[in-house]
Amino acid sequence: GMTRRKLVEFIKNKANVDDRKIDDVQVMDIYSFITVPFREAEQILEAFKKENTGKRKLVEVANTKDKSQRRK
C-alpha cells in the first residue's frame, strides 16, 4: 500500500519537487493530502496534468471550508 514515504518519493520524482517542501502528509484509504508552498503546488499540478484527463483526478487542489486553516 501507499505510505507517507512512498507518496513523497512519488511526488518528488514525478514533479521534481524538493521533498523538504512536502509537509503534513496524510495518507488515507481513498485519498491523501499534502501541504506544499504555492510554487511547488503549481509544479505538482503541472506534472500531473496529463493524468488528470479522466473522470477521476490523480491530483487536485483541496478546498478548505475554514479559510483560517489555509497556509499563508
Question: pLDDT value at position 36?
Answer: 97
3-state secondary structure 11-48: HHHHHCCCHHHCEEEEECCCCEEEECCHHHHHHHHHHC
Query: 13-64, pLDDT tens digit by residue?
Result: 999 999 999 999 999 998 999 999 999 999 999 998 887 777 777 888 888 7
Q: Where are the domains of the chain?
A: 4-64
Q: Grid coordinates representing 69?
A: 486553516
